[in-house]
Amino acid sequence: MKTNANQHETCPVVYQPVLFIIGTFAVAWCCAWFMPGTDYHAHTALFIFLDFMENASPLFCALLLLRRHLTKNRFFHRFFLGTPDSKYSCIIVIMLFMAQFLNFYLFQAEDAAFSVQSFALTFIGQFLLGGGLEEAGWRGYLLPCFCRKQSYLLSSVLVSVIWVLWHLPYFFIPGSMQAGENFLFYAITGMITGFILTAIWLLTKSILLCMLFHSWQNTIVMTVQADMSDVRFMLMFLLLGVFSVLICIDRQKKRPFSSHT
């Protein structure tokens, strides 16, 4: 009986990607539909709530679909904190964080001004209410789901494509990060960012670190204001993407996918 109980607690997660995608898109796009018509100054609480629900829809859908596993075998702990691949994994992840920041900081626009206070406050907001919340769904649920049957690189591409398409309504919300941005350029940067986030997940299996990096990147984009037309900036960004792809290839060669759940 004891053996059967242990087997029951360690049973693999049965992923439902179609249900996750439908639920995430439905919640996010419904919120996005109401947001442009909501006066932020007149209905601040409602606008913040809609924005929060939009950003958190992948998180809520993932937790809802994983609800049977959250209390089993320290699943919740391992899901967010992960287990580093090696003692060097955390060092590599820190390097990715710092390289992303330095790329923006070193190639700032001429009239840009950097404020540590503004950066810190924006980062906290992004982590608690903004883009960081998405990662529990994209890299926490959908990526390991695809990785069970596909390679790491293909899985990363699939998640990134869905992730980029999920952001489409943001292009029509005044004041959002994507408003007025070129969609093709956004899609390319989204794919590269997807590889970086996949590399972080493969190195640590930590959704928390993916959430922190997503919040970190959003904060950098919002507060550092790099000159993205600078060839050196784009070259550095591409190099980060290539480095992340190499990490994915290396992990693929070392062993087949082993679910962290």
Whether the per-residue pLDDT at 163 is higher than 90: the answer is yes
- The pLDDT confidence band at residue 154, using thresholds 50, 70 and 90, is very high
**Digit-coded pLDDT (tens) for 219-247:** 999 999 888 888 999 999 999 999 999 99
The more confidently predicted of residues 214 and 170 is 214
- The pLDDT confidence band at residue 257, using thresholds 50, 70 and 90, is very low
Provide the 8-state DSSP code for 83: -
Other Cβ atoms closer than 10 A to 82: 21
Average pLDDT, the chain: 88
**Digit-coded pLDDT (tens) for 55-109:** 999 999 999 999 888 777 778 788 888 887 777 898 999 999 999 999 999 998 8
Other Cβ atoms closer than 10 A to 78: 15
pLDDT attached to residue 1 = 41
**Digit-coded pLDDT (tens) for 123-144:** 999 999 888 999 999 999 999 9
Distance in angstroms (rounded) separating the CA atoms of residues 246 and 252 = 10
CB 177 within 8 A of CB 221: yes
Whether the per-residue pLDDT at 42 is higher than 90: the answer is no
Q: Looking only at Cα atoms, what is the longest distance across the chain?
A: 69
Distance in angstroms (rounded) separating the CA atoms of residues 24 and 136 = 12
Whether the per-residue pLDDT at 261 is higher than 60: the answer is no
pTM for the model stands at 0.89
- The pLDDT confidence band at residue 113, using thresholds 50, 70 and 90, is confident
pLDDT attached to residue 255 = 61
